[in-house]
Structure 1
Amino acid sequence: MAYVAPPGYQSAFNPPIPYCTVIAGGLRVGMVVCVQATLPSNYNRFAINFTTGQEDTSDTAFHMNVRYDGRDRCVFNTKEGGVWGAEEMKRDVPFKSGKIFMIMYEVTCNNYQVFANGAPYYEYGHRIPLAQVNTLQVAGDICVQHLSIVSNGPPVKGGLILSVAQSNLLPVFAPHNVNGTVPFTSPISGGMIPRRSVIMKGMVKSRAKSFTINFKVGFTNDVALHLNARLSKKTVVRNSFINGTWGEEETALAKNPFKEGEYFEISVRSGEKHFEVFVNGSHCFNFAHRLFNLQQVDKLEVDGDVNIMFVVI
């Protein structure tokens, strides 16, 4: 079963480098871009660019260039009309060889807020209007494991071009939550009705024992889907809690996708008969509905030994 991202969420696993993609609907305030990557065995520098087009002559609204040359640094700049502006620089480079790292950009009305491995790293003020920015580029000495572009609401005028598979899914409308604290709770507006997806990017803590993700009925505390990743036992337990009683556990999995100290992306999609759960772009399991009024399943809870980068509903 192939993973299809819902409208408003772009996802690429292990893309070839250099990589270039159009940002569906253009870059807008409230959007988040997330790059999970490692460095290759031989590395000198890499760049991540937000540009006004895919051509070599396009303006670069935000250029982030990480350089390893004995004077390790991160350079930020803008190229407009073929001319580079004044450089900004940060000496601390937290993207190390042999380690998976995460670079996340949150777009605000004033700047690009850059996070490194979940911590605030830099703020770069807009020099080119966001309305002109529509392309993301990644180049240089970097191995991207996962890249995601998270929308913040309905598409702009004119709509988006969707695949047939995407046209059968509800778009992402609700605001995302960036670097949410755990325990984490969020409403699911309208409930987990068929064709709706909830997506979470997180990291399992080192020496983690377990974490849980619950899809609940807010006013009764019934749990339509309880996912309990037990790292110490290398298993993922699924269950429901209805009318004060736990149901029958399900544990069968071809492979446990969660590992200590590693990032993951989990997508939970509601279907007519079951929840479809994908981890890191691969189908993980289905869980047959035991609560059938899906509109009442209106609350998401996350707890345990996990850090959250963002949640999209």
Structure 2
Amino acid sequence: MAYVPAPGYQPIYNPTLPYNKPIPGGLSVGMSIYIQGVAKDHMKRFFVNFVAGHGSGEDIAFHFNPRFDGWDKVVFNSYQGGKWGKEEKKRSMPFHKGTPFELVFMVLTEHYKVVVNGDPFYEFGHRIPLQMVTHLLVDGDLELQSINFIGGPPAPNQGPGQSNQQPSILPTMEGPPVFNPPVPFMRRLQRELTVRRTIIVKGYVPPTCNSFSINFKVASSGDLALHINPRPLEGVLVRNSYLNGSWGSEERKISHNPFGPGQFFDLSIRCGIDRFKVFANGQHLFDFSHRLSAFQKVDMLEIHGDVTLSYVQV
């Protein structure tokens, strides 16, 4: 089953290094770039560059460069006209060797805001106009799990994971995303749940996580059309429904489990005509046939338990 990203959400999974690709639709205020990866055990340094062009020697609007060199620090700079600018640095290392991380670059009017593992880390003022930035370059001592470009104008060619489907049959999302929301999380859907509607949930499973739940709920009755319940300590992923005051039969079979302790996840939950289709980190995870015939009555997304959320879009 092919993975089709929802419009405005262009994930690239397991890219090879160096990663040097165009930014879909170009860089603009309001965009966020999510990078999930693992710092290698022998990490010395890696970098993320926002580049004005594709070739070598191009201007770099923002150079983000963690360095493990005995004086662990993160360096920030720009490169323009063949010369490096004034270096900024922070002697604080939010990355740990051999450990997964989530790195977010939020593009704001005055600066890039850097968030690491959900915590604000640094703000780097613009030195080169955003409209000149065309490519993202990532390389160094890390393993990339995913790069997601969120927000901004849709690109005509989305790269890996692209689809030639017409917009009328593409999955859809509603409303603005929510960044780093607290748990428990409850959000009313702006309109009824329809076919091709896609919900995105990105987060982190703490090492001590026992259980958490993602529920597609009918607020008026309390019915759950879909209950997704990862239990990391048990190593299982339970799916079920709760209708008319009773739980249905559990479903547990999966080909892989993306909800290990200490892991980041990227979940895409799509409503189909006769089932929910769920993808994790770009791979098909499971289908769940509709048990609530009038699934359009679902009007709330509810997330609670031992989980840290970084991004939700309904």
- TM-score higher than 0.5 here? yes
**C-alpha spacing 1:68/1:230, structure 2 compared with 1 (3 Å):** closer
Given residue 281 of structure 1, which amino acid in structure 2 is its aligned partner? G
Q: Which residue of 1 aligns with 2:178?
A: 177
Percent identity, aligned pairs only, is: 44
Given residue 178 of structure 1, which amino acid in structure 2 is its aligned partner? F
- Which stretch shows the higher mean deviation, 52-61 or 64-73? 52-61
Given residue 221 of structure 2, which amino acid in structure 1 is its aligned partner? T
Alpha-carbon distance in structure 1 between the residues aligned to 2:166 and 2:127: 34
Given residue 75 of structure 2, which amino acid in structure 1 is its aligned partner? V
Shift, 1:301, TM fit:
0.9
Contact 1:73 1:93 in 2 (8 A): yes
Shift, 1:165, TM fit:
4.8
Q: Which residue of 1 aligns with 2:163?
A: 163
RMSD: 2.1
- 5 Å matches for 1:79-228? 79-151=79-151, 155=153, 160-161=156-157, 163-165=163-165, 167=167, 168-228=169-229
Aligned pair count reads 309
Shift, 1:280, TM fit:
2.1
Q: Which residue of 1 aligns with 2:31?
A: 31
- 5 Å matches for 1:69-88? 69-88=69-88
Residues 110-166 of structure 1, C-alpha deviations (whole Å, 9 max, x = no match): 2111112221111111222223323211012221122222126xx36xx63362257
Q: Which residue of 1 aligns with 2:269?
A: 268
1:6 aligns with 2:1: no
**C-alpha spacing 1:293/1:140, structure 2 compared with 1 (3 Å):** same
Alpha-carbon distance in structure 1 between the residues aligned to 2:208 and 2:302: 22
Contact 1:200 1:310 in 2 (8 A): yes
Shift, 1:173, TM fit:
4.8
Contact 2:196 2:271 in 1 (8 A): yes
Per the normalisation by structure 1, the TM-score is 0.91
Alpha-carbon distance in structure 2 between the residues aligned to 1:36 and 1:111: 22
Q: Which residue of 1 aligns with 2:287?
A: 286
Contact 2:42 2:97 in 1 (8 A): no
**C-alpha spacing 1:74/1:222, structure 2 compared with 1 (3 Å):** same
Q: Secondary structure at the match of 1:164?
A: coil
Contact 2:193 2:296 in 1 (8 A): yes
**C-alpha spacing 1:130/1:262, structure 2 compared with 1 (3 Å):** same
Alpha-carbon distance in structure 2 between the residues aligned to 1:231 and 1:38: 19
**C-alpha spacing 1:143/1:299, structure 2 compared with 1 (3 Å):** same
Per the normalisation by structure 2, the TM-score is 0.90
Which structure 2 segments of 5+ residues have no match? none
Shift, 1:212, TM fit:
0.1
Shift, 1:269, TM fit:
0.9
Alpha-carbon distance in structure 2 between the residues aligned to 1:296 and 1:5: 24
Alpha-carbon distance in structure 2 between the residues aligned to 1:51 and 1:173: 31
Given residue 141 of structure 1, which amino acid in structure 2 is its aligned partner? D
**C-alpha spacing 1:78/1:289, structure 2 compared with 1 (3 Å):** same
Q: Which residue of 2 aligns with 1:231?
A: 232
**C-alpha spacing 1:61/1:205, structure 2 compared with 1 (3 Å):** same
Given residue 24 of structure 2, which amino acid in structure 1 is its aligned partner? A
1:54 aligns with 2:54: yes
- Which stretch shows the higher mean deviation, 15-24 or 73-82? 73-82
Shift, 1:171, TM fit:
4.3
- Which stretch shows the higher mean deviation, 261-270 or 218-227? 218-227
**C-alpha spacing 1:170/1:252, structure 2 compared with 1 (3 Å):** closer
Contact 2:100 2:262 in 1 (8 A): no
Residues 170-220 of structure 1, C-alpha deviations (whole Å, 9 max, x = no match): 344521111111001123222331112111111112221110001122333
Contact 1:8 1:171 in 2 (8 A): no
